[in-house]
Amino acid sequence: MRCRDIATASRIFTFFLRSRGILYSITPMSRKSKFKKIIVRMPNWVGDLVMATPVLTDLRNHFPDAEITAMCKAHLADLLKHDAAIDEIFAFSQPAYGFLRRAADYNLIGKVRTGQYDLGVLLTNSFSSAWYLFQGRVPKRLGYRTRMRSFFLTDGIPWPTKKTHQVDFYKQLLEPLGIKKSQTAPRLYLTAEESKVAKELLYQRGYVDGAPLFGINPGAAYGSAKCWPKERFRSLALQLLDKDPEAFILFFGDAVTEGLVKEIVQDLPERVINLAGATDLRELMSLIQMCDVLVTNDSGPMHIGAALGVPLVALFGSTDETLTGPYGQSGSVIRKQVSCAPCFERVCPIDFRCMRGILVEEVVRLAVERRRSRV
């Protein structure tokens, strides 16, 4: 198609959208803009949302008088409770498809319009998230140009050409606002009452106050390629207990990994506490914070632990710690240099050499060292 034809088609399409009340004014972002109401569309996964929290802090520091709303899936909203950087949590849920999905979409757009936000920051890369803010009449919409959604952004940011940590990937979106890349780290907030309830939950399971507490998270949402073999987690627990007769082991997991954890802990000593599938998100956060060290795959709980300042031993195989590893100095990463990693596959198609190369003894040694660093 010739340039003249493309320009004509674009004008016709724009006229059509405006005539249907779909297209609204699009003007360039001003670095001197003073936004009063900001909505931030947060990521859809636990770990990604935690890694995105520095954006909220940086926005608050730059726009101290603005009302900042964090928009997220309902099942993740508890992660943001008690966050001083935001004024409101806009939690929503959507059916997968069909009439109910369309009705939920209209409802969502209506709520965005009611909010009368003057700036929207999209930390998600989906077409639909840009569409919702566009239809919600948010006049300034900032996000990465990807998945054919540039038309719905007033300020589309080019996709980064250099490999960068996910935390910095989110921070780069703030540059058009005049916010320079900060050193802000992910963070989460718990109340004293929540910590007290978590302790009581452990006491009910036999935990002795002051005893060393090793947390173990053997699952990961993305797939089995991110997970150390279950028999090694079992061996890890036994060796940690053998090294310290007073230590307790606390296993974490959600409803999906509940069965896996049950297999791992079967017939282990009483000092092994299994809370997989038995906690909500706030309880999980509180219990992780109680751990002297957390041994974990690359997962949401890993990022929760990092944000709460818990010493970590993070096991990496199919993924890349330079992209999604513990941000800052909060963790020790174990990753074997094999030719096929990182492959980012959900399931290993060959011999799982990246994870099988990680030995129980080295994980035990690092876990004990990290625990001592906290004593």
Q: What is the 3-state secondary structure (H, E, C) of 97-149?
A: CCHHHHHHHHHHHHHHHHHCCCEEEECCCCHHHHHHHHHCCCCCEEEECCCCC
pLDDT confidence of residue 6: 41
Strands (E), the chain: 37-41, 67-73, 88-92, 119-122, 141-144, 155-157, 213-217, 248-251, 272-274, 293-297, 312-316, 331-335
- Stretches where the chain sits below pLDDT 70 are 1-33, 95-100, 329-330, 375
pLDDT confidence of residue 29: 53
pLDDT confidence of residue 26: 39
Amino acid of residue 359? L
pLDDT confidence of residue 148: 87
Compute the 3-state secondary structure of the chain and give helix, strand, coil in percent, each to the nearest 5. 45, 15, 40
Predicted TM-score (pTM) of this structure? 0.90
- Beta strands 272-274 and 213-217, pairing class: unpaired
Q: Residues 346, 224: contact at Cβ < 8 Å?
A: yes
- Residue 290, SS3? helix
pLDDT confidence of residue 329: 65
pLDDT confidence of residue 25: 40
Domains 25-177 and 193-374 share a fold: yes
- Residue whose tokens read 């090793």: 214
pLDDT confidence of residue 336: 94
Kindly report, residue by residue over 40-89, the tens digit of the pLDDT.
999 999 999 999 999 999 999 999 999 999 999 999 999 999 999 999 99
State the CATH architecture for 193-374: 3-Layer(aba) Sandwich (3.40)
CATH of domain 25-177: 3.40.50.2000
Q: Where are the domains of the chain?
A: 25-177, 193-374
Q: How far apart are CA 245 and CA 343, in angstroms?
A: 39
